[in-house]
Amino acid sequence: MLTLFHTADWHIGQNFYGYDRKDEHLFFFDWLKKQTKELCPDVLLIAGDVFDSPNPSAESQKIYYKFLHEITSGNPNLQIIIIAGNHDSAARLEAPNPLFEEMNITVRGLVKRTQDGEINCRDLLIPVVKNGKTVGWCVAVPYLRQGDYPAAENYVQGIELMYKALYAELSKIKTPDQAVIVTGHLQTKDALLSDKDRSERAIIGGLECVPANIFDNDEIAYVALGHLHRCQKVAGRKNIQYAGSPLPMSFVEKNYEQGINLVQFNSSKIEMIERINFNPPVGLLSLPSEPKPLDDVMNEINKLPDGEITSNSPYLEIKVLLTEPEPSIRYHIENALKNKSVKLACTVSHKSDTEEKSEKTMEYNELQEINPVEIAKIAFRNQYGDEMPENLQNLLQSVIREIDC
C-alpha cells in the first residue's frame, strides 16, 4: 500500500493587504507535520507555488527550509516531491537539489534539454520508492513556460504534446504493478474558479485552459494539480484533483475549503481518496455581505464585538455603496473600527446603480484582479467597436508569459 499527501499553493511570503502571514503559514506547517506523524504517508507531493514571489524574502526561505528539515527529520522514510508553480522561480527552487538528495527531496522546476536539444523527459520521471523498492512513478511536470514544451501552434497544443512525450518515455520503464502519479500546475477547462480572483488568473488566463483529456491515459492512477485555489475534482473525475491552497489568498476565497488530499494506492490502482480539512487560524470577513450605504455600514461595524487586535483577529473587507465621491470614507471607517478586534484589510467602493448598466468604482486592489487580456479586449472594443481578433489575444498572452519568465 502506497500513501500520498497532495498539497499545493502555499504562497509563503504573501503580503495580505499589508499584513504579514508568517504566523499563519507556521500554523499550517505545524498542522501538516502533525498529520504526517499520525498518518505516516510515504510521499508528500507539493504541486507548485511554494512561494508567493519568484524572489522570496530571506525570512520566507527560512520558514520553507526549516519546515523541510523538521518534517524529514521526524519522518525519515518520507519522500518529498516538489514542482515549481508560476509564482516560483524554477531555478531558485531547484538550486538546493544536491543537498536535498540526502533528505529524499526532489524538486523539479526547470525543463532540461539533452545535448542535441531534445527535451529531457527522463529528468521529469521520478521513481517513488518504498522499502527500497520502486512502487510507482511521478511524472513531475512544473509550470510550463514558453520554450519548455515541444514546438506547437499554441500553448494548449504544446502542453498536450509535452504530456504525450512524457507518457511515451514512461512506458519504456514502468512495470504494470507500479502506480503512476502525474502533476501539473495549470488551469483545466472544466475547473471551477472565480472570475474576480487575480491570484488564480493573472498568469494563466482563459486562453491557456487545457482540456482534462490530456490526462486520458490508462496507466495514470492519480493527477495532482496546483494553481487553482479551490479544492475540486476536474470534470467529475475523482482521480484528477486540485488540492487547493491551505490559506485563502483573497476575499473571493473566504468560503473555500482548505486542506490536503490523502491518496492511497493498491499496486497501480487507487484504493482511496480522502480530504483532510485544515482550519486556518485567521478568518476573512466581508462587511456587509453586499454593498450598502455608508450609514448602514457604520451600523454593522458597531455590532462587531469589542476587543484588542490579536494575531488571530479576522481580516476585514468593507463594501460601501456610494452615490457620490467620499474622500474621507477610509477615515470614518477606521475611526468606527477603533477597539474592534478585526484587521481592516481593504475598503471597496461601489457606485449606486442609478444608471442603466452602471459600472462599479474600482480601487487599485480591484484593478489588480482583472485579467490583463480582458483589459486589452475592453480597450480594443471601445477603440474599434469590435472584438479583438484571436491572433492578437494569443500574441498578447505570449508577451505576458515572456514578462513572467
With the C-alpha atoms ordered 338, 343, 349, 353, is the resulting torsion angle positive or negative?
negative
pLDDT on residue 364: 45
Delimit the domains of the chain by residue range: 2-277, 284-370
pTM: 0.85
> Mean pLDDT of all residues in the chain?
89
Q: What is the mean pLDDT of residues 206-229?
A: 90
Hunting for cell 484589510 — which residue is that? Answer: 345
Smallest CA-to-CA distance from 185 within 171, 195, 200, 206 is with 200
- How far apart, in whole angstroms, are the C-alpha atoms of residue 132 and residue 129? 6
3-state secondary structure of 187: coil
One-character DSSP codes across 258-284: PEEEEEEEETTEEEEEEEEE---SS-E
pLDDT on residue 231: 96
pLDDT in tens, 100-144: 999 999 999 999 999 999 999 999 999 999 999 999 999 999 999
pLDDT in tens, 44-77: 999 999 999 999 999 999 999 999 999 999 999 9
Which three three-digit cell numbers place residue 14?
504573501
Give the pLDDT band of residue 90 (cuts 50, 70, 90).
very high
User: Of the spans 48-62, 193-207, 382-396, which averages the highest pLDDT?
Assistant: 48-62
65, 99 in Cβ contact below 8 A?
no
- How far apart, in whole angstroms, are the C-alpha atoms of residue 13 and residue 51? 6
DSSP 42: S
Show the beta-strand stretches assigned E in 187-310. 222-226, 232-234, 237-242, 259-266, 269-277, 284-292
DSSP 372: H
The answer on pLDDT for 315 being more than 60 is yes
CATH architecture of 2-277: 4-Layer Sandwich (3.60)
